[in-house]
Chains A and B, each alone.
Chain A
Amino acid sequence: MKRNRKRGWMLALCAAAIVPLAAIPLGWFALTDAAMVGQTHTQQTPYTSLVPTGDDYYLLRQLNTRVELAWRNYNGQMYSTEDGVEGMYFSGATYSGGMTYADADMQQYRDEVLQTLVDGGVLPQAWWDQVKEEIDYWAAPTYYSTDSLGFLRLKTYVGENSQTCLLNMEVDSRTGKVVALWISALQRHEIDPAVALPAWVELNELDGLGDWTVPTGTDYEQSGLYSENGQALMTCATGEDTFSSSGETRQFLSLQLGPYTKEVSG
């Protein structure tokens, strides 16, 4: 009995020693909370909200790299390591002689991509019907090539030895997004850049940039949509094509998405 009482005292003594020790962290937490909660701290760098840029979009990154490397390439620099844009660029063939003759699958792919543009409200049905009619009429051959960044070029000529190009389309092969379309046709049809370009922004999933506006004060005021965040310009234009064929005046439609770093007044 006596032994049990002694054990009880020992336990009580131990508990009396442990409980204050166990409370030390609580005290410490209370002290640190008191030091932190409700106090004002100045931040070294002020908070800035996250604004999307062209670098956040794969398609624009690819286009920026492509244009930058192509500039250097044209000026004699085959391989470049400057300014964060590193690599070697091969543009791929641009004339039928160096391109691959497209089979039925590739022609079907071309038609599907163009139909996507029509369905997305970018390319008016009348333009697509016009160029399709001419392609069918001439049984126009299609050729393709790719550049070293993976952009696919599809070109359809009036004939195998013809220089009259009915269609030149450039597609990013990974995403299937169209970055440029050139159509040369016998008839011009209406296309409203104010309708086509926002639709193209959406189709290319670039609407997240959030600031596509008409580039006032530039040559692209009537034909363009510009994103300052993305440093990118989309244009949609039609006009006379006196280059493609010397025998007849043709009409062109041009859709183009590219880097644009010049200052644009609001």
Chain B
Amino acid sequence: MKHLLILGPALLLVFLTACGSAPSDTATTETAATAETAATWTVGKMEPLYSANSQGYYRTTYREREGGNTVYAYDLITRVSFDTLEEEVLCHLPGCEHDTPDCVSYINIQTSDVILAQEDGSVLVYHAAFSDQSGQNMLESYQEILNDPARLEEAYPGEAGKAYVQDCIDMLQQPSYVDRISADGLTRERLVTLPEGVNPGLVCRDENALYGIVKEGVFEAATNIYGVRIGLDGQVDTFSIPDPDYTTLLGGWNGQLVLCHTRSPVDMNTMYLYGNYDGYYALIAQDTHDCWLYDPATGAVDKIRLPDQNVELWQVVGDQLLYNRKEAGRYTLCAYDLMTGEARALCEESNMGTDASPVQNLGGMPHFVVSYLNGSITTVELSTGLTWSQAELGEMAEEIPAGFYVNRPVCETADGNLLLELYSNSYRNPIYLMVPSPVTPEEDTADVSASLQAIQDYLQVTQDYEEAAEEPSS
């Protein structure tokens, strides 16, 4: 009977414990009201938009074609070989002079095409069509000139000029698309043509698709914001994101999209529409971000409020969410571990806001991000927070050609070298150097040890908590 008397308080305790064990302060799950249709696709291993593969690093280079007294500019896709550090045009068509749109690496100078390296050695070219009225106006203007021989000869003289205008018209008539250039530089094929008017800005990619965001309308007052998945099999899917007026895509993690949600105590968009620009820009300067993990298949959202109050989110690198902590005019670059929920400071600066662009590592997860420290470009190592200025990176090279300086680290090769990009005030095009990566195997090991220690600490805290919870009922 005595045992039965204990049962009542015990059940009450269980009930109260259940009531108290609400979701943690950092993450709550809810279903997004804006997810109208469940996605039929899944998020793969997401990564930023990288431009290097085992064969080299790819970029666009500026070229000029002469036509009478006028030069006509265009871009070519080039590859910097890791073996030779020489830059070559990614076109091996026999006899190609690489100065017309027939060249597989040719890009119209007025576009901002994104070059993405594939593991198989091929290259993807994403072309985003002009969204606004200016694109249509440009098209009409070029067409008028082309149809008026006198005006054409005056503004764009010679056959080269006519070809340039025609190329611009062709480009402006294209919707957004994804092309693939084969690894041997012999073919360029159209993989995907996006629907008319769907012109996303790319954010990230996985093995099978590219992901971006469409913002229709002007910058501050976009009326229609949604996500786009561009399948490399040609399938294009649009998807809604929760609270689209204040949310954008940051990347992906663990089968979910990582969204950056802007938080403000006032509806800033309405404030802008009221014409209260003082208030709008003051709030923009003070706003802060939350990380939302969004499952497009179910519409579920895990809202993560970071331990720091005023933050700007930058990037997802592996399990780490890189963000900036703003505190009384000081900025600290921090890493939040999405797996463990722990945050740590990497480096601090006081001059201007930091940034964090991951340096692609062809051997695995990135070791470095390019950030700003006291107004200068700085390379930050993610496990230790060690930093290298551009000059310090240059000192790693045996010799730097006179007049050149390190601009940034481009990527880390699979065999542990950093490819550095060097610019000069005298030359338009950069040169490239390879230096050993400053990450040592010991530092890698230290990183793993620190993670294991963190997990053990967490397990110990959990065990202590469980023991403490058992005490009253015993």
Interface residues in chain A, defined as those with a beta carbon under 8 Å from any beta carbon in chain B: 66-67, 70-71, 74-76, 91-92, 94-95, 147, 153, 165, 168, 170, 179-180, 182, 184, 217, 219-220, 222-224, 233, 235, 237, 239-244, 252, 254, 256, 258-260, 262-263, 265
Q: List 13 other contacts, CB 8 Å, given A66-B274, A70-B275.
A: A67-B274, A74-B220, A74-B273, A75-B218, A75-B223, A91-B275, A180-B276, A222-B265, A223-B265, A239-B265, A239-B286, A242-B285, A256-B267
A260 to B, closest residue via Cβ:
B267
Contact A168-B282, Cβ < 8 Å, known A71-B221, A74-B273: no
Interface string of B253-294 (1 = CB under 8 A from A): 000000000011111001101111111011111100000000
Q: Is there contact, CB below 8 Å, between B223 and A71?
A: yes
Contact A168-B278, Cβ < 8 Å, known A74-B273, A243-B285: yes
Q: Is B101 an interface residue (CB 8 A)?
A: no
Inter-chain contacts of B265 with A (CB < 8 A): 219-220, 222-224, 235, 237, 239, 254
Interface string of B213-227 (1 = CB under 8 A from A): 000111011010000
Inter-chain contacts of A243 with B (CB < 8 A): 278, 281-282, 284-285
Q: Is B133 an interface residue (CB 8 A)?
A: yes
Q: Which of B266, B271, B278 contacts A184 (CB 8 A)?
A: B278
Q: Which of A66, A170, A219 contacts B276 (CB 8 A)?
A: A170
Query: Separation in Å of the B218 CB from the closest CB of chain A?
Result: 5
> What separation, in Å, do the CA atoms of A74 and B133 have in the docked complex?
13
Inter-chain contacts of B279 with A (CB < 8 A): 168, 182, 252, 254
Query: Separation in Å of the B126 CB from the closest CB of chain A?
Result: 25
- Binding site of B, secondary structure by majority: helix, strand, loop or mixed? mixed
Q: Is B395 an interface residue (CB 8 A)?
A: no
> What separation, in Å, do the CA atoms of A3 and B282 have in the docked complex?
110
Q: How many A-B residue pairs have CB under 8 A?
A: 105
Inter-chain contacts of A254 with B (CB < 8 A): 265-266, 271, 279, 283
Q: Is B119 an interface residue (CB 8 A)?
A: no
- Binding site of A, secondary structure by majority: helix, strand, loop or mixed? mixed
Q: Is B30 an interface residue (CB 8 A)?
A: yes
Q: Which of B223, B266, B284 contacts A223 (CB 8 A)?
A: B266
Most chain B CB atoms below 10 A, which of A76, A224, A239: A239
Q: Which of B30, B271, B275 contacts A256 (CB 8 A)?
A: B271
Inter-chain contacts of B276 with A (CB < 8 A): 94, 168, 170, 180, 182
Query: Separation in Å of the A250 CB from the closest CB of chain B?
Result: 9
Q: Is there contact, CB below 8 Å, between B282 and A256?
A: no
Inter-chain contacts of B277 with A (CB < 8 A): 94-95
Q: Is B33 an interface residue (CB 8 A)?
A: yes
Q: Is there contact, CB below 8 Å, between B217 and A75?
A: yes
Query: Separation in Å of the A96 CB from the closest CB of chain B?
Result: 11
Q: Is there contact, CB below 8 Å, between A258 and B286?
A: no
5 contacts between A and B (CB under 8 A): A70-B275, A219-B264, A219-B265, A235-B266, A254-B265
Query: Separation in Å of the A210 CB from the closest CB of chain B?
Result: 22
Q: Is B243 an interface residue (CB 8 A)?
A: yes
Query: Separation in Å of the B222 CB from the closest CB of chain A?
Result: 8
> What separation, in Å, do the CA atoms of A244 and B284 have in the docked complex?
12
Query: Separation in Å of the B234 CB from the closest CB of chain A?
Result: 31
Query: Separation in Å of the B444 CB from the closest CB of chain A?
Result: 40
> What separation, in Å, do the CA atoms of A233 and B274 have in the docked complex?
14
Q: Is there contact, CB below 8 Å, between B270 and A258?
A: yes
Q: Is there contact, CB below 8 Å, between A244 and B218?
A: no
> What separation, in Å, do the CA atoms of A75 and B284 have in the docked complex?
21
Query: Separation in Å of the A72 CB from the closest CB of chain B?
Result: 8
How many B residues face the partner with a CB closer than 8 A?
31
A221 to B, closest residue via Cβ:
B265
Q: Is there contact, CB below 8 Å, between B263 and A219?
A: yes
Query: Separation in Å of the A143 CB from the closest CB of chain B?
Result: 13
Q: Is there contact, CB below 8 Å, between B273 and A256?
A: no
Inter-chain contacts of B267 with A (CB < 8 A): 220, 233, 235, 256, 258, 260
Q: Is there contact, CB below 8 Å, between A237 and B273?
A: no
Contact A67-B270, Cβ < 8 Å, known A182-B278, A239-B265: yes
Q: Rank and list the top 6 A-B pairs by shortest CB-CB distance, nearest first.
A: A237-B265, A223-B265, A258-B270, A243-B282, A74-B221, A70-B273
Q: Is there contact, CB below 8 Å, between A256 and B221?
A: no
B280 to A, closest residue via Cβ:
A243
Q: Is there contact, CB below 8 Å, between B286 and A180?
A: no
> What separation, in Å, do the CA atoms of A184 and B282 have in the docked complex?
10
Inter-chain contacts of B271 with A (CB < 8 A): 180, 254, 256, 258
> What separation, in Å, do the CA atoms of A252 and B52 have in the docked complex?
47
Contact A256-B133, Cβ < 8 Å, known A71-B273, A168-B278, A180-B274: no
Q: Is there contact, CB below 8 Å, between A74 and B278?
A: no
Q: Is there contact, CB below 8 Å, between A252 and B223?
A: no
Inter-chain contacts of B133 with A (CB < 8 A): 76
Query: Separation in Å of the A159 CB from the closest CB of chain B?
Result: 15
Q: Is there contact, CB below 8 Å, between A241 and B218?
A: no
> What separation, in Å, do the CA atoms of A70 and B270 have in the docked complex?
10
Inter-chain contacts of B223 with A (CB < 8 A): 71, 75
Q: Which of A75, A168, A262 contacts B243 (CB 8 A)?
A: A262
Inter-chain contacts of B285 with A (CB < 8 A): 242-243
Inter-chain contacts of B273 with A (CB < 8 A): 66-67, 70-71, 74
Query: Separation in Å of the A61 CB from the closest CB of chain B?
Result: 16
Query: Separation in Å of the A179 CB from the closest CB of chain B?
Result: 8
> What separation, in Å, do the CA atoms of A66 and B270 have in the docked complex?
10
Contact A244-B278, Cβ < 8 Å, known A71-B221, A71-B273, A74-B218: yes
> What separation, in Å, do the CA atoms of A260 and B274 have in the docked complex?
14
A183 to B, closest residue via Cβ:
B279
Q: Is there contact, CB below 8 Å, between A242 and B286?
A: yes
> What separation, in Å, do the CA atoms of A92 and B275 have in the docked complex?
9
> What separation, in Å, do the CA atoms of A132 and B275 have in the docked complex?
23
A151 to B, closest residue via Cβ:
B274
> What separation, in Å, do the CA atoms of A258 and B275 have in the docked complex?
13
Contact A74-B263, Cβ < 8 Å, known A67-B270, A153-B275, A252-B279: no
